[in-house]
Amino acid sequence: MNIKILSRNSQLYSTKRLVEAAMKRKHTVEVVDPLKCDIVIERRNPNIYFKGKYIKDVDAIIPRIGSSVTFYGTAVVRQFEMMGAFTTTDSEALVRSRDKLRSLQVLSRAKIGLPKTVFTNYSRDVSGVISQVGGPPLVIKLLEGTQGVGVVLAETKNAAESVIEAFNGLQARVIVQEFIKEAKGADIRAFVVDGHVVGAMKRQGKDGEFRSNLHRGGSAESIELSDEEEIAAVKATKAMGLGVAGVDMLQSSRGPLILEVNSSPGLEGIEKATGKDIAKTIIRYIEKHA
Ligand SMILES: Nc1ncnc2c1ncn2[C@@H]1O[C@H](COP(=O)(O)OP(=O)(O)OP(=O)(O)O)[C@@H](O)[C@H]1O
Ligand SMILES: [Mg+2]
């Protein structure tokens, strides 16, 4: 098969592993930077122009679209779809997953466990927002944050108010969420491919840190999910319409609570923690469907 990996950087671990896995299984594979693709639109003849020629006869694409290039990246994915290529990440699902508010709405409609969350449009009734999530301690997150930056634990009402007001003053939109204490500074990442969990790890924040992000010094180990966790991960992925996803959840006293469903989940953490060949699983998923 002719497989294109849409990635800005062929040196990234995930990109390299996917290339390697595709080659091992005798496919033709190329890394295509979506930002260097021109989208050619005319009547019934969708095309993509890349490095001086038209891209032809693509069987499948693996989009690895960073959140900073969602708009153009999605347009390129959509163009490949119009050209008849199979994609491991549907363009509509990609857009949906990048909108945190919309994602939580979709998950809530699918009856998936979530931490109680309030989105607020710079509300001046800060006290009301705080009581909506059951009062302190609570977590305040910048809507635009990633890798734990802009995620704050406010232990008292005073602290919560000052942080929310400060963000409001900077015109930075926030999410206010109940703090799941029982998670004990850990979260779970379940890697889902084609409706099955193919690997899972527990990430633990370093001592005294409630954020488990590996970029913040957290550590990861492979875990076996409970049935309930496995079902939640698969259901969340399905609700988002994703073929490949990284589902982040917290273990709470009322069962798994989904934090986020990631549409371009990295392979490095999960492959290293589990020792599993997730790249190969993704290539096999393509072989089954393309
Ligand atoms: N409501 C919560 N209760 C307890 N711990 C939480 C809660 N929300 C987040 N955390 C912890 O903080 C970490 C970072 O939060 P989150 O994943 O929401 O933000 P992020 O990693 O910055 O954003 P993204 O995952 O979108 O890149 C989580 O992995 C989890 O360990
Ligand atoms: Mg996170």
Domain containing residue 135: CATH number: 3.30.1490.20
Among residues of the chain, what percentage have pLDDT more than 90?
A: 93
Closest among 265, 273, 197 to 232, alpha carbons compared = 197
Question: Do residue 169 and residue 192 come from a single domain?
Answer: no
Flag whether pLDDT at 146 surpasses 80.
no
Residue 137 in contact with ligand 1 by CB distance below 6 A: no
pLDDT of residue 203: 97
Strands (DSSP E) found in 41-195:
47-50, 53-54, 60-63, 86-87, 117-120, 138-142, 151-154, 174-178, 186-193
SS3 content of the chain, % helix, strand, coil (to 5): 35, 30, 35
pLDDT-based confidence at residue 179 (cuts at 50, 70, 90): very high
pLDDT band at 149 (very low <50, low <70, confident <90, very high): confident
Q: How far is the CA of 203 from the centre of ligand 2 (A)?
A: 10
> Is any atom of ligand 1 closer than 6 Å to the C-beta of 117?
no
2 lines ligand 1 (CB under 6 A): no
Give the Å distance between the CA of 259 and the centre of ligand 1: 7
Confidence of residue 82 (pLDDT cuts 50, 70, 90): very high
Which residues span the domain enclosing 153?
Answer: 117-179
Ligand 2 mean position, distance from CA 215 (Å): 10
Contact, 174 vs 143, CB < 8 A? yes
Where residue 143 falls among pLDDT bands split at 50, 70, 90? confident
Counting the structural domains of the chain, the total is 3
122 pLDDT tier (thresholds 50, 70, 90): confident
By alpha-carbon position, which residue is closest to atom 24 of ligand 1?
146
| Residue where a domain terminates, one of 138, 163, 179 | 179
Which residue type occupies 59? D
Token output for 48: 């993509």
What does the pLDDT read at residue 81?
98
Indicate whether residue 213 lines ligand 1 (CB < 6 A). yes
- Alpha carbon nearest to ligand 1 atom 23, residue: 146
Q: Which phi and psi (to 5°) does residue 85 adopt?
A: -80, 145
Q: What are phi and psi of 108, to 5 degrees?
A: -65, -40
Does some domain include residue 103? no
Which ligand has an atom closest to residue 259 CA? 1
Work out the mean pLDDT of the chain and round it to a whole number: 96
Mean pLDDT, range 118-139, rounded to an integer: 94
If one residue of 119, 130, 152, 187 were mutated to test the ligand 1 pocket, choosing by the most ligand atoms within 8 A of its CB, it would be 187
pLDDT(96) > 90? yes
Q: What is the CATH number of the domain that holds 30?
A: 3.40.50.20
State yes or no: pLDDT of 124 exceeds 90: no
107 in a structural domain: no
In a domain? residue 105: no
Closest CA to 234 of 252, 249, 247, 248: 247
Q: Give the Å distance between the CA of 141 and the centre of ligand 1.
A: 8
Q: Which of 157, 179, 201 is the endpoint of a domain? A: 179
CA distances to 89, 208, 211, 224, 265 from 184, in Å: 32, 10, 9, 18, 23
Domain boundary among 161, 179, 197: 179
Name the residue among 255, 262, 281, 260 with its Cα closest to residue 113: 255
* pLDDT at residue number 99: 93
Where residue 156 falls among pLDDT bands split at 50, 70, 90?
Answer: very high
Is the shortest distance between the CB of 162 and ligand 1 below 6 Å? no
Asked whether the predicted pLDDT for residue 73 surpasses 90, the reply is yes
At 214 the pLDDT is 87
State the angle between helix axes of 91-98 and 100-109 in degrees (0 to 180), rounded to the nearest 10.
Answer: 110
Question: Confidence class of residue 15 from pLDDT cuts 50, 70 and 90?
Answer: very high
| Band of pLDDT at residue 215, cut at 50, 70 and 90 | confident
Mean pLDDT over 221-243 rounds to 98
Q: Is 47 in the pocket of ligand 1 (CB under 6 A)?
A: no
What is the mean pLDDT of the segment spanning 250-258? Answer: 98
Q: Which residues contact 226 (CB under 8 A, 6 or more apart)?
A: 256
Q: Are 187 and 211 in contact (CB under 8 A)?
A: no
- Contact 212 CB / ligand 1 (< 6 Å): yes
